[in-house]
Chains A and B, each alone.
Chain A
Amino acid sequence: MDKTVDRLTHQMELKNVSKEYGQTEDPIPAIQDVSFNLHRGEFACIVGPSGCGKSTLLKMAAGLDKPTSGEILFCGEPVIGPHPKISMVFQSFALFPWRTVTGNVEYGLEVQGVPKAERLDSVEKYLEMVGLAGYAHLYPKQLSGGMKQRVGMARALAVDPEVILMDEAFSAIDEFTAETLREEVADIHAETEKTFVLVTHNLVEAVELADKIIVLSTRPARVKKILDVDLERPRDKTRSEFVDAHKSIFALLKEELETTIVRRRISRVPEFQRLTDIEAQS
């Protein structure tokens, strides 16, 4: 396939995606009218204040949850449930503790009915890719957090997906290990040319990895801004372009957080509380 054409087509499209929780009469909006597109091979980061609904958005992209309105398309087809070409990495690693490293990595292929020998070839290949060759027979409890996430990465890669969704994949790992892991993910992205979507609240991480950063607002999450990060790879965090990019996103998020804090403070003052109550009633 011609690669330039390929890059122009949208692999994943979110169209006016909204999510509400609670009863139909009195819904609590979590995500409102979120739209963005991803190209094949793109690395996208979704950033936003904590609790804004980033992870819910990712779960919907994975087909684990359904939008209340709007739609999510993968290669032009609506995502109505888990898709074999969409894989996921979890913040909690979510490894099966009773399975060895091999057992965890081969899981996706196993439930697809791929024969054992073929599975083991894939396991070897992807363990090598994430730097875990030689740990195949260990159980998760024998691994450090960083190693567990490597297993999580290898498991997601083993089914040869086109899109890898990562939910705060580096948040539960100590910073030194996380840094190495990020570099490796950048390498894997360059090597495999798969599409990556990382949800994070770490802006440095986003600037380090992303081609595109989708900045979400506080709850209910709306798209505040979509930024293209056009920095040379591998990225050097000490370069002024990097620092500038980081600063501008930080300013955006700070602005967003400050408006919410002001809104919350006002609502705590009794007079304003009454005003907002009246407003709400009218």
Chain B
Amino acid sequence: MPSFTATVLTLASSLHDAGFIMRVAQSFLNLTSGIFLALAVAMPLALLAGLRNRFDTTMTPLIMLAGALPDIALLPILVLWIGPGNAAAISIAAFSAFFPIYFTIREGTQDISKDLFHVAAVFNTSRADTFRKLILPAISPQLFTGLRLAYDFVWEIVLAIEIFSGVTGIGLYISKAVEAGDVAEAFAAILAVGMMAILVDRLVFGRAERWIRRWID
């Protein structure tokens, strides 16, 4: 077990290593691409489910069923279909991120007061403006919660698939370091991932949260 100081020192020297930085960046890119892919698919579906009851009653049970599948167990099948590599990592990240994003946006949409839609209608708001000026700000608290949850969940699954399918990200770096007996290096990499997660949380979600706190009841 390496000491904390040793881990930090290893991390400090790893940060000078372009290869290390590239691997962290690669993992982060896979994660972010997966989440954006999930958002692109989940958002329209969740809005439909939130606004149209009939769609919700048919679609949501199916999505719940899919969400109950253990994503870790899907990994080997996915790798078999897509083949190892970044595409597989992005796909599984998107799959995992889909569910928290879908359910939070759906709930946020269902919670929008009917009267607000009436206001939009009374002032003859166009469809595009109803989306931009009513739906989007109204669901923003839940949307950011969903994305935040996705970031938390999906890091782990991305690292897992990297180890499993040999993607040149930080997951594989960690597993190789452990195999080589360099535990300090593995810990340094884990610490880098943690710091990355905190950084994103502060920069992106912290800012969104401050804006939401200004107006939410």
Q: Which residues of A are in contact with B by a Cβ distance under 8 Å?
A: 59, 62-64, 82, 84, 86-88, 90, 92, 94, 96-99, 107-108, 110-112, 139-141, 159
List B residues 131-147 near A (Cβ within 8 Å).
133-134, 137-138, 140
Q: Which residues of B are in contact with A by a Cβ distance under 8 Å?
A: 113, 115-116, 118-119, 121-126, 129, 133-134, 137-138, 140, 214-217
Q: Which of A64, A111, A141 contacts B125 (CB 8 A)?
A: A111
In the complex, what distance in Å separates the CA atom of A88 from the CA atom of B129? 19
In the complex, what distance in Å separates the CA atom of A8 from the CA atom of B133? 41
- Is A111's CB under 8 angstroms from B124's CB? yes
Which residues of chain A are near B216, meaning CB under 8 Å? 97, 141
Extra A-B contacts (13), CB below 8 Å, given A90-B115, A111-B123, A111-B129 = A62-B122, A64-B122, A84-B124, A87-B123, A88-B118, A94-B118, A98-B138, A112-B123, A112-B124, A139-B215, A140-B215, A141-B215, A141-B216
Which residues of chain A are near B123, meaning CB under 8 Å? 82, 87, 107-108, 111-112, 159
Helix, strand, loop or mixed for chain B's interface?
helix
In angstroms, how far is the closest chain B Cβ from the Cβ of A62?
A: 6
Which residues of chain A are near B115, meaning CB under 8 Å? 90, 92, 94
**Given known A-B contacts A64-B121, A87-B122, A88-B122, A94 and B129 have beta carbons under 8 A apart:** no
Which residues of chain A are near B217, meaning CB under 8 Å? 97, 141
In angstroms, how far is the closest chain A Cβ from the Cβ of B12?
A: 43
**Given known A-B contacts A62-B122, A97-B216, A139-B215, A92 and B137 have beta carbons under 8 A apart:** no
In the complex, what distance in Å separates the CA atom of A141 from the CA atom of B212? 12
Can you list 15 A-B contacts (CB < 8 A)? A82-B122, A94-B116, A96-B119, A96-B133, A98-B138, A98-B140, A98-B215, A107-B133, A111-B123, A111-B124, A111-B133, A112-B123, A112-B124, A139-B214, A159-B123
Which residues of chain B are near A59, meaning CB under 8 Å? 118
Q: Which of B126, B138, B214, B215 contacts A111 (CB 8 A)?
A: B126
- Is A82's CB under 8 angstroms from B133's CB? no
Q: How many A-B residue pairs have CB under 8 A?
A: 62
**Given known A-B contacts A64-B118, A90-B115, A90-B119, A96 and B124 have beta carbons under 8 A apart:** no
In the complex, what distance in Å separates the CA atom of A110 from the CA atom of B126? 11
In the complex, what distance in Å separates the CA atom of A84 from the CA atom of B124? 7
In angstroms, how far is the closest chain A Cβ from the Cβ of B213?
A: 10
Which residues of chain A are near B129, meaning CB under 8 Å? 111
- Is A96's CB under 8 angstroms from B134's CB? yes
Most chain A CB within a 10 A radius of its CB, from B113, B123, B124, B137:
B123
In angstroms, how far is the closest chain A Cβ from the Cβ of B214?
A: 6
Which residues of chain A are near B119, meaning CB under 8 Å? 88, 90, 94, 96, 107
In the complex, what distance in Å separates the CA atom of A63 from the CA atom of B124? 10
In the complex, what distance in Å separates the CA atom of A108 from the CA atom of B118? 12
Instruction: List the 4 shortest-distance A-B pairs measured between CB atoms, nearest first.
Output: A94-B115, A108-B123, A98-B137, A139-B215
Most chain B CB within a 10 A radius of its CB, from A59, A94, A112:
A94
In the complex, what distance in Å separates the CA atom of A79 from the CA atom of B216? 36
Which residues of chain B are near A140, meaning CB under 8 Å? 215
Which residues of chain A are near B122, meaning CB under 8 Å? 62-64, 82, 86-88
Nearest neighbor of A161 in chain B, beta-carbon distance: B122
Which residues of chain B are near A84, meaning CB under 8 Å? 124
Nearest neighbor of A62 in chain B, beta-carbon distance: B122
Which residues of chain A are near B126, meaning CB under 8 Å? 111
Most chain B CB within a 10 A radius of its CB, from A64, A86, A107, A112:
A107
In the complex, what distance in Å separates the CA atom of A265 from the CA atom of B114? 35
In the complex, what distance in Å separates the CA atom of A94 from the CA atom of B112? 11
Which residues of chain B are near A82, meaning CB under 8 Å? 121-124
Q: Which of B113, B124, B214 contacts A94 (CB 8 A)?
A: B113
Nearest neighbor of B123 in chain A, beta-carbon distance: A108
Which residues of chain B are near A86, meaning CB under 8 Å? 122
In the complex, what distance in Å separates the CA atom of A231 from the CA atom of B166? 87
In the complex, what distance in Å separates the CA atom of A107 from the CA atom of B137? 14
In the complex, what distance in Å separates the CA atom of A108 from the CA atom of B122? 9
In the complex, what distance in Å separates the CA atom of A110 from the CA atom of B124? 11
Nearest neighbor of B134 in chain A, beta-carbon distance: A96
Which residues of chain B are near A139, meaning CB under 8 Å? 214-215
